[in-house]
Amino acid sequence: MAGRPVDAARSLTAALDEIDRAGAAPSRERLELRCKTLITLALTEFMLSGVEAASARLAEAEEVVDDLGDDRLRARLDYQRANIHGRVGDLASAWDGIEGAVRRLDAFTEPEQCSVHLSRGMLAFELLRPQEALESFAEAARLAHALGGPAQEFMARHNEGYAAYLLGDIPRSLAGMARAEELESDVFTGPARLDRAQVLLEAGLVKEAVEALHAGLESLEGDGHDQMRAEFELALARAHRLLGHLDLAAGAAASARETYGRIGATAWAAKAMLVELLVDLDRQRRTRRTRQAQEDGTPESDLVRRVVGVGDATVALAAAATADELTEIATELGDPELADSARVVAAQALLLAGDAAGANTRLLSLERVSTGSLSDELDAAVVTAMTLVATGDLAPARRILVRASRRLAAGQQGSASLDLRTARAVHGARLSELDLELAVPRGSSSVLEALERWRSATDRLPSLGRPDDEQLAQLTEQLRAVRGHLRGESDPAQLRELHDHASRLERQIRDRDWALSRSGGSAQTVPVRVREAREHLRQVDRDLVWFFRHQGRIGAVGVIGGRAMMRDLVAADRAAELAQRIRVDLRTAATHHLGPLAGAVWSSLRASATELDDVLLRPWRSSRGLVVVTCPELSALPWALLPSMSGRPFTVALSLTSFARRGAPRPGAPAPPDGPGAPGVHVSVGPSVPRASSEGRTIVGTWGARARLAEPSRRDELVGALARPGVVHVAAHGTHQLESPLFSSLMLHDGPVFAHELQPTGVRADHVVLSACEVGLASARPGHESLGLALSLLSLGARSVVAAVSPVPDDVAATTMTRHHELLASGLPSDEALARAVAETEDVAAAFLNIGGQHRP
């Protein structure tokens, strides 16, 4: 029947007609057959016509069961009733039914017993009974393994993965689902596809979840999949809302709600309605942010208005009333999780209507059910904090934000996957914005603490020591081969086919990476407080400027000469426009054959750089070297082109404490020796870089006996060098993958080395120099996180990285980098060595940045 309910209904109805036409008084055997047919038909009619049609068939079957007094048939009736009530969200009735089936388990065959335990496990999780759920899944897995049935084993393994998701263990969940997918079984995969998409959504991999959901919808061919289609659409609505695509979210939620209403799935219709309400509230917040300040003619002095917003009272109160009705429906259905979700939505609506007391009442009535969902927990936290602000309780609001940042950090523990760690930050975006809003009126120190709090929640070294995996290695080798064919192919049709093949392999590799991400042990980090980090700035004689977006403008907090201060600098749109103009002009200027255009390009570039310098840096009146922490509007900026930065040492850091942590001794590591025993210098070179060999030999000559040139250069040697303390230089072409940053790569003689390949061993190199191409670029992700090759090296443990954010001609790169090593070997710290090297060569060398920390040889 799976996947073909129309055919099943036709066959079952025909069978029922045949039984009824048999004539004479029905025998017990014929009554039993009729009852079983009605029970099965109830599910197909639910899928085709909704709960009322299904309930009518179940009522017919119950009459037969009562007449026969057959407990075995009653067990089957109870199980089907549980199945149908569970699908419409009537969890209390579903639990009664499943418990009735479990009490008469001997009425089922062993394969059927496995299904009963699987159903009980899923329902137990929905009702927040985790221990009972785990017991059921364990028994289902045992039975499936003993029976050797691939379909049953697939379901058991997959549901074990889903159970881990409901317990909040995302890596374990993805691993369990991956194990299930390795089994060859002829099962309807719609529910499994939906479950996996839900896990991706919770993991913060929102775009990937959208792709999976669309693929799942396309797989639902024919009639009879209304419930499943609606579930896919509801998940799509949630995903689009996270991405800020409100029109798409509203359309998907409305479509899901209409379908649920048509088939009588009351609880599910309520969930879809809640998403619609949230989208409407998001729209009101979006339109009021800048408008309110313009209307008041003031810098938004009313904190409550800035934090909560002011919506259309009529619309907001109507939304609150609808949410209250949904709370009552959820309570009647015995669904405390849905009831709490409705109360949170009602509170948000009342806040926008200006009724803080009403919002507080809704939050006080929360049952605080533990859903295992980090995103739900953080959503509730932001509404609670906003309500406290609206009622004037600022200190408790700040405490909630601090706890939420710790919860976000804890939710990322246990994963070695950079993909998962950076992605999950999306669920903390609203909280971090609220934290900053509360911090700005309290001054520079509070702003610095707030910015650090949320950056530190995600800027932690991941788990290391993940074992090598044969499947992942094979997939990566295939990708290397495909990339090699791409370089030599010119036929458009073949190129398209190879690109498609590479994309499929990348998806498989990411899936495997997520599944393996829980295998490693925990890496130790050096905890650094803001106060200690400020002291580190003083010790290394550096100032700090940390840029952030606030109320449509770029502001910054600085630590200048040890003193914290804050500045409002420039409109965010203007800063982003100037930064983009600089990036484009520098990329154009890197071409040596500009001819008569050269003057115009450099004139435009310098004008933009001067204007940006005037608004971003000169107000600080700092003459020391700088640590710069950027915001998305200013990312990948060639800072050395700004006039006040010419020849000035600077580091682009992930945060203040991140910069300080990279200057502290590694946990448990002895002090580095001087002389012959000092950490080594490894040089890798790549093909098709004309000056790579001479560049490598010059660098080896600079460092002497400590240095080694690997030529031809191979992947294993580079990965091994990066896993050891010391300096690593790579003179090879690289590629930044915009859509899949973990597949950014460096091209060596045996093929590309991908960023994701560095995760099992980690990176312990003190200073990594990437002298070619633009591998200093990073792709922004929802939640203000970024990922790319240089940032991957830092996240995996590198102390500092030199990389370019724009193409640099090979001769300029070679000259600049060999000079950088000369100055570094003379004892200068990495930021100063790079600043001098850039100042002594052509202006296009300003694309090179010292990122992460300051390496002192």
Model confidence over 789-842: pLDDT tens digits? Answer: 788 788 888 899 999 988 888 889 999 999 999 999 999 999 999 999 999 999
Helix (H, G, I), strand (E, B) or coil at 546: strand
H helices, E strands: number in the chain: 34, 16
Q: Are 122 and 138 in contact (CB under 8 A)?
A: no
pLDDT of residue 777: 58
DSSP annotation string for 256-301:
HHHHHHHHT-HHHHHHHHHHHHHHHHHHHHHHHHHHHHHHHTSS--
pLDDT of residue 524: 46
Go through 558-593 and write b for each residue having 16 or more CB atoms within 10 A of its CB, e for each that does not: bbbeeebbbbebbebebbbebbebbbebbbbbbeee
Residue range 304-313: mean pLDDT, rounded? 74
Confidence of residue 559 (pLDDT cuts 50, 70, 90): very high
> Model confidence over 462-503: pLDDT tens digits?
444 455 677 778 888 888 888 878 777 778 888 888 888 888
* Whole-angstrom distance, CA of residue 472 vs CA of residue 512: 6
Residue 134 has pLDDT above 80, yes or no: no
Residue 520 has pLDDT above 60, yes or no: no
Question: Residue 632 corresponds to which tokens in the numbers above?
Answer: 């998305």
- Torsion from C-alpha of 230, 234, 240, 244, nearest 10 degrees: 140
Query: What average pLDDT is seen over the chain?
Result: 84
Residue range 92-105: mean pLDDT, rounded? 91
pLDDT of residue 463: 41
Helix (H, G, I), strand (E, B) or coil at 172: helix
**Cis peptide upstream of residue 712 (ω within 30 degrees of 0):** yes
Confidence of residue 726 (pLDDT cuts 50, 70, 90): very high
> Model confidence over 172-229: pLDDT tens digits?
788 778 778 777 777 777 888 898 898 888 888 888 899 889 988 888 877 678 889 9
> Model confidence over 334-359: pLDDT tens digits?
888 889 999 999 999 999 888 999 99
* Whole-angstrom distance, CA of residue 538 vs CA of residue 660: 11
Confidence of residue 299 (pLDDT cuts 50, 70, 90): very low
Is this model's pTM higher than 0.85 or not? no
| CA Rg value for the chain | 31
pLDDT of residue 461: 46
> Model confidence over 61-92: pLDDT tens digits?
888 888 888 888 899 899 998 988 888 888 88
pLDDT of residue 522: 43
> Model confidence over 533-553: pLDDT tens digits?
899 999 999 999 999 999 889
Confidence of residue 290 (pLDDT cuts 50, 70, 90): very low
Residue (of 193, 227, 224, 223) closest to 210 by Cα position: 193
Residue range 598-605: mean pLDDT, rounded? 88
pLDDT of residue 779: 53
Residue 784 has pLDDT above 60, yes or no: no
Length of the chain: 857
Residue (of 652, 198, 658) closest to 458 by Cα position: 658
pLDDT of residue 283: 87
Residue 732 has pLDDT above 80, yes or no: yes
